[in-house]
């Protein structure tokens, strides 16, 4: 089941609302993708403003509440962010090229009760041979109303590896 404040674009069961309405006490596995806007080091230029108005504290609190959930297996996915110093270093940093996508986007995984994700189709050599603007496509997206949404999507190869390696089936998913 997926869960988000926004409607889903993908088929399957989806709860539109607060993740904490549905997670406690009934799941074995949670793969969470909390918003990174106020945490990612790529937005460090705006940290002072985000600290002052409380957005960063709220995002930190949300992340910590997820990791402390009463679920035996948890993966929290975020880009390189301040949680590496405020909480702890991630258990793993993965790249899309480790899972068949010819792109780069460092993605941190904080794991509880789960093993590190094993690469399924490493295309690093092919990826690094591409022009920078192609392999770093998401970084170079022009400003638009949906830029944030495109940049926050999980690559299908990574999602499939998570489902297969952690859930035992590509049909078993809880994404917050």
2-167 under CATH 3.40.50, yes or no: yes
Cα separation of 87 and 119, whole Å?
26
What integer pLDDT is reported at residue 45 of this predicted model? 84
For 129-144, write each residue's pLDDT tens digit: 999 999 999 999 999 9
Cα separation of 149 and 122, whole Å?
25
What integer pLDDT is reported at residue 172 of this predicted model? 43
Residues 6+ apart with CB under 8 A from 54: none
Contact 2, 12 (CB under 8 A): yes
pLDDT-derived band at 116, boundaries 50, 70, 90: very high
pLDDT-derived band at 38, boundaries 50, 70, 90: confident
**Structure tokens belonging to residue 58:** 């709220």
Q: Where are the domains of the chain?
A: 2-167
């Amino acid at each position: 089941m997926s869960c988000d404040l926004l409607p889903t674009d993908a088929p399957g069961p989806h709860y539109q609302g607060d993740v904490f309405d549905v997670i406690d006490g009934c799941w074995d596995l949670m793969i969470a993708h909390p918003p990174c806007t106020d945490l990612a080091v790529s937005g460090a230029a705006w940290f002072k403003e985000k600290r002052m108005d409380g957005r960063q504290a709220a995002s930190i609190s949300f992340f910590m509440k997820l990791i402390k959930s009463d679920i035996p297996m948890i993966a929290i996915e975020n880009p390189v962010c301040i949680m590496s110093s405020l909480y702890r270093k991630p258990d793993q940093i993965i790249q899309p090229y480790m899972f068949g996508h010819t792109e780069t986007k460092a993605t941190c995984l904080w794991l509880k009760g789960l093993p590190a994700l094993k690469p399924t189709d490493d295309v690093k050599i092919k990826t690094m041979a591409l022009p920078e603007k192609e392999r770093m496509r998401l970084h170079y997206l022009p400003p638009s109303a949906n830029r944030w949404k495109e940049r926050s999507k999980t690559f299908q190869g990574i999602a499939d590896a998570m489902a297969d390696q952690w859930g035992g089936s590509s049909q078993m998913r809880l994404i917050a």
